[in-house]
């Protein structure tokens, strides 16, 4: 199953902010739609779509059993009605990151950057999902999707700022930060 994020003229999410954090940004669009499909080969309608990004969920990587159990115990599901704000943050890491072994990436990800340990305090206020797209011919390696309530907006900013200060983030060569607000409760 693939999740497809389409920036265009219509969608259940209204784009409130879009910024290239590192590298090239994406074309600005007023709306974002999120759909699920068995195929990423969906037709693109140029008059309605500025860009389309697809990813898929996968097994959890860089996580040890105890960490996975901790995450599962506190993480919230996507689609909570009170979570009217969201962020789509596509990320592409450098070749230097991918040339590292799995163990070397794990050391940077958790042992040095404390990605999991530091992020735990933001759960369950912020629901999140990581979509992998490196092997799908997409322009990014990951699509990170976060949902949260307006009351947790500053908490989300703190999370993003913290992650961008880590050694892991030094391997990011392209990142776009897209903030959206839900137009309808039935979106997603």
pLDDT tens digit sequence for 126-166: 999 999 999 898 999 999 999 999 999 999 999 999 999 99
Q: Percentage of the chain with pLDDT > 70?
A: 89
- Least trusted range by pLDDT, from 81-90, 164-173, 179-188: 179-188
What contacts 69, CB < 8 A, 6 or more positions away? none
pLDDT tens digit sequence for 169-181: 999 999 999 999 9
Residue 147 domain boundaries: 2-36+48-182
Statement: residue 92 has pLDDT above 60: yes
Cis peptide upstream of residue 50 (ω within 30 degrees of 0): no
Domain count, the chain: 1
The whole-number pLDDT of residue 187 equals 44
In a domain, 110, yes or no: yes
The answer to whether 181 and 84 have CB atoms below 8 angstroms apart is yes
> For the domain that residue 110 is a member of, what is the CATH number?
3.30.70.3420
Which pTM value belongs to this model? 0.89
Q: Which two tokens stand for residue 165?
A: 């200060």
Name which of 168, 146, 177 is nearest 93 in CA terms: 168
């Amino acid at each position: 199953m693939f999740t497809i994020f389409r920036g265009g003229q219509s969608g259940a999410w209204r784009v409130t902010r879009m910024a290239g954090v590192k590298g090239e940004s994406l074309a600005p669009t007023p709306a974002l739609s999120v759909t699920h499909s068995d195929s990423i080969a969906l037709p693109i309608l140029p008059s309605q779509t500025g860009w389309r990004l697809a990813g898929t969920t996968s097994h959890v990587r860089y996580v040890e059993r105890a960490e996975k159990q901790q995450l599962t115990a506190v993480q919230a599901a996507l689609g909570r009605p009170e979570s009217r704000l969201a962020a789509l943050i596509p990320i592409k890491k450098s070749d230097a990151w991918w040339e590292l072994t799995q163990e070397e990436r794990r050391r940077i990800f958790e042992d040095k950057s404390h990605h999991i340990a530091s992020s735990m305090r933001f759960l369950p206020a912020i629901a999140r999902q990581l979509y992998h797209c490196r092997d799908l011919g997409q322009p990014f390696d990951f699509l990170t999707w976060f949902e949260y309530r307006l009351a947790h907006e500053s908490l989300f900013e703190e999370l993003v700022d913290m992650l961008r200060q880590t050694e892991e983030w030094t391997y990011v060569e392209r990142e776009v930060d897209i903030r959206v607000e839900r137009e309808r409760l039935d979106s997603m």
